[in-house]
Structure 1
Amino acid sequence: MWGGIRRWIHPFSYIVTSPIKIDIWSDIACPWCYIGKRHLEGGLAALGDDAPEVEIEYHSFELAPDTPVDFEGSEVDFLAKHKGLPESRVQQMLGHVAGVAAKAGLAYDYDVLQHTKTLKAHELLHFAKEHGLQLELSERLFRAYFTEGRHVGRIDELVELAAEVGLDADAAREALESERYSAAVQADIAQAGTYGIQGVPFFVFEGKYGVSGAQPVEVFSQVLTQVAGEHDGAVA
């Protein structure tokens, strides 16, 4: 369905007259999604004055929908059971991910992380999108979950985080308690299935090209340059 990344790459710069749309499927509880977010940002920054203007929209994807809101145990406990791996292997995996995250400027703290169901966090992200603060909330939720040990599955905690990025706390609570955005979350997940997305992060550029995983910064720079060129030609 999607074009291969390598064949998109061309070492040219372009001036784009309208934003490039980037749709991102991710889950707040996905460590690679936060890393991928940073790598995309780094890819844009690396282009300097040649960086195209982009419009980013996050879409919901639950990696472990059967997770209870109040999971009892550590991240190691969850992954060992969920993936059927010995704890020593899970410890190695988490150490590797934390090392990659550190290179991206992220300080993951698995000792304080509170594993939880992320459905309500996704509902809140849809609420934030409606109020123009989805990107700010996405960053806040990732940081709260991976570095601060906040419980992003509970409504009270989510309302506090929403208020921190400028959202109305009472309106956020009403949106979560009413489950007003639950259908929007499920629509995102269904669309991911239509696209054949089985894991996240997954980036879709201009509705045409898909990039799977937390690719290196330079890959995002190259893809952005290529897509910008095609986009500029289309609107010329």
Structure 2
Amino acid sequence: MSFQENTARIEIWSDIACPWCYIGKRRFAQALDEFEHRDRLSVTWHSYQLAPDTPVGLRRPEVDALVEMKGIPAEQVRQMFAHVASVAAGDGLDIDFDTVIAANTFDAHRLLHLAGERRDAVLEALFRAHFVEGEIVDDRDTLVRIAASAGLDPEAVRAGLEADAGADAVRADLLEARALGVSGVPFFVANRAVAVSGAQPKEVFLALLQRALEDADTALEADRAAACDTDGCTI
């Protein structure tokens, strides 16, 4: 491997039901677009569930779900929503909390693992469906339709969801998050060494990407220093 081929690894844990993950994805994408060495980065999205016990198919407004979960007044929840929506608007995202339906996101995460190279497009479609269009993202018919809109074969997706495909991959992501001590999302990890939590400004993500690449290059140089070649061994 040549020096220029060295790759930095970026991993991101997020949940479809997390508005800050939606905002963070937009800001991270902007950082990637501006990063000069984008081709030297490997970016992997991982599954996370903020509310894994949410009943599937309950179809309850998000405001009611949060009132029950957090034990705070509905008006306070609406104020929180208004703040998040205002921040999202500054990043070009039109979040409409009046239409958001609480959902169990396990199947949506399975869909992301089934999406292959279309994963980013499917993730974007899921965020938009949940936060903008008021879609029920724990309904499998809805997930098939969302997948088709992002360019996937709807019949293949339906078969995969019915066969429980991707479930082990989701569970592995959740276990890995627990092992790393992830307690909130979005959570960005560079080379399993440096982490950034939250929907940080674009400049913070740019700094993370630069640090990731520098650390990867340093590690490669260290490996070379401890290697032998045709000219002998480094002592």
3-state DSSP of counterpart to 2:44 = strand
Work out which of the residue numbers 49, 65, 70 in structure 1 matches 2:52.
65
1:174-193 CA-partner distances (Å, limit 9, x unpaired) = 11111121111111101110
Residue 96 of structure 2 aligns to which amino acid in structure 1? D
CA drift at 1:152: 1.1
Partner in structure 1 of residue 156 of structure 2: 171
1:76-96 CA-partner distances (Å, limit 9, x unpaired) = 111111111111111111111
Work out which of the residue numbers 74, 85, 88 in structure 2 matches 1:98.
85
1:17 paired to 2:5: yes
Distance 1:72 1:179 in 2: 22
Please say if residues 13 and 48 of structure 2, whose CA atoms lie closer than 8 Å, have aligned partners that are also in contact: yes
RMSD between superposed Cα atoms in Å = 1.8
Provide TM-score, normalisation by structure 1.
0.86
Distance 2:137 2:60 in 1: 16
CA drift at 1:161: 1.1
Partner in structure 2 of residue 161 of structure 1: 146
3-state DSSP of counterpart to 1:133 = helix
Distance 2:49 2:4 in 1: 34
Please say if residues 23 and 59 of structure 1, whose CA atoms lie closer than 8 Å, have aligned partners that are also in contact: yes
Work out which of the residue numbers 39, 56, 66 in structure 1 matches 2:27.
39
1:110 paired to 2:97: yes
CA drift at 1:18: 4.1
Please say if residues 112 and 148 of structure 1, whose CA atoms lie closer than 8 Å, have aligned partners that are also in contact: yes
Structure 2 residues not aligned, in runs of 5+: 222-235
1:206 paired to 2:206: no
Residue 21 of structure 1 aligns to which amino acid in structure 2? R
Residue 10 of structure 2 aligns to which amino acid in structure 1? I
Work out which of the residue numbers 14, 26, 29 in structure 2 matches 1:26.
14
1:75 paired to 2:57: no
Higher RCO, 1 or 2 (CA under 8 Å, sep at least 6)? 1
CA drift at 1:21: 2.0
1:178-235 CA-partner distances (Å, limit 9, x unpaired) = 1121111111101110000011111111222111111111111111122222223444
Distance 1:107 1:162 in 2: 21
Structure 1 residues not aligned, in runs of 5+: 1-14
Please say if residues 17 and 232 of structure 1, whose CA atoms lie closer than 8 Å, have aligned partners that are also in contact: no
3-state DSSP of counterpart to 1:184 = helix
1:186 paired to 2:174: no
Q: Go from structure 1 to structure 2 and tell me whether the alpha carbon gap of 1:169 and 1:74 turns closer, same or farther (over 3 Å shift).
A: same
Provide TM-score, normalisation by structure 2.
0.87
